């Protein structure tokens, strides 16, 4: 199918049977993670729900069981900013599940004030990239055993705000900007999927990165009037660079999706047979991304599709988290 910005999870999963499939999803206590869990479980999938807050995650699962009596849902805690927590969570999953069919790296943070994790990493890069990288690498043996399997990494159109700054990725020396930090981490997500797919496609694993669109979820809890103004200014700047003349209304480019529409592309990426042969692709609005197009819709910047940058980031991340891919 070729979707649109309003295509929903139930629409992309119409006629899909996921009985017997084990799907692991991060960030399931609310928002897109909870909706993806609901939609995929409604098609028979067994879902491992991962979130930092165990109580909220359990409440999310309980609410979903009311909607889907008999749904196979298990909850586990993970703090993606803590490498020991990620390792412990992965160890528990592998102890109970020999194979995994799909991993959706959905959790994330956006526009946080500057902070570093207990491991010393800038929070956006740690939460959005490093923790998911480590989780994926640790679960890779089970994903290979589940082949043909898929990994879906949540990126964002915000990747257009920043390529990887390999000279100072943690903002150790340059001035901190929450949008640059978020944008860099979303570029990292896209490059991660590109390189993961290259490394494991011969083992039956396919990886994608996804722009879900703009959705009102808890991801935006750190947004302020100042950071919203910064985003609008950047939208206007990009429009000028693209040759737009006359008055520009940045708010016109800020069209919000429903949660069901926001989660649709990641559910499509996880299941759609028509995506076979498109491994490593960037997806948006249930479509293949267009290099150089409008990042607010289905466009993707060349810097998020750069295979050399993907290899460089992979090697650096292995050093940061102290873990190599071993399958």
Q: Catalytic: 182? A: yes
By C-alpha distance, which of 51, 53, 12 is closest to 34? 51
Q: Is the peptide bond before 148 cis (omega within 30 degrees of 0)?
A: yes
Please state the φ and ψ torsions of residue 44, each to the nearest 5 degrees.
Answer: 100, 0
Contact 35, 267 (CB under 8 A): no
Give me the residue label for tokens 């939460």.
Answer: 127
Catalytic residue (choose from 114, 176, 182, 282): 182
- Closest Cα to residue 284, out of 1, 58, 4, 84? 4
Catalytic residues: 182
């Amino acid at each position: 199918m070729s979707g649109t910005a309003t295509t929903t999870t139930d629409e992309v999963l119409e006629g899909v049977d996921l009985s017997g499939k084990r799907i692991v999803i991060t960030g399931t206590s609310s928002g897109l993670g909870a909706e993806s869990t609901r939609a995929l479980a409604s098609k028979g999938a067994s879902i491992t729900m991962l979130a930092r807050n165990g109580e909220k995650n359990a409440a999310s699962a309980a609410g979903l069981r009311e909607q889907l009596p008999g749904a196979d849902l298990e909850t586990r805690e993970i703090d993606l900013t803590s490498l020991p927590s990620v390792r412990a969570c992965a160890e528990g999953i592998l102890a109970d599940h020999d194979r995994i069919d799909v991993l959706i790296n959905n959790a994330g943070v956006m526009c946080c004030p500057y902070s570093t994790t207990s491991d010393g990493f800038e929070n956006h890069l740690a939460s959005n990239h490093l923790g998911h990288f480590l989780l994926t690498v640790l679960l890779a043996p089970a994903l290979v055993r589940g082949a043909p399997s898929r990994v879906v990494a949540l990126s964002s159109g915000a990747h257009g705000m920043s390529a990887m700054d390999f000279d100072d990725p943690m903002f150790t020396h340059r001035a901190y900007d929450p949008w640059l930090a978020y944008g860099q981490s979303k570029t990292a997500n896209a490059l991660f999927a590109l390189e993961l797919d290259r490394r494991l496609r011969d083992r039956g694993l396919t990886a994608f990165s996804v722009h879900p669109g703009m959705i009102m979820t808890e991801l935006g809890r750190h947004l302020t009037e100042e950071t919203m103004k910064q985003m609008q200014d950047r939208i206007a700047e990009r429009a000028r660079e693209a040759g737009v003349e006359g008055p520009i209304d940045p708010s016109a480019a800020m069209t919000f999706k429903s949660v069901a529409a926001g989660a649709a592309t990641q559910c499509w990426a996880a299941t759609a047979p028509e995506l076979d042969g498109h491994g490593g692709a960037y997806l948006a609005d249930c479509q293949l991304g267009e290099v150089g197009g409008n990042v607010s819709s289905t466009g993707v910047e060349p810097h998020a599709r750069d295979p050399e940058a993907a290899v460089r980031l992979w090697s650096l991340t292995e050093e940061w988290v102290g873990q190599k891919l071993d399958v």
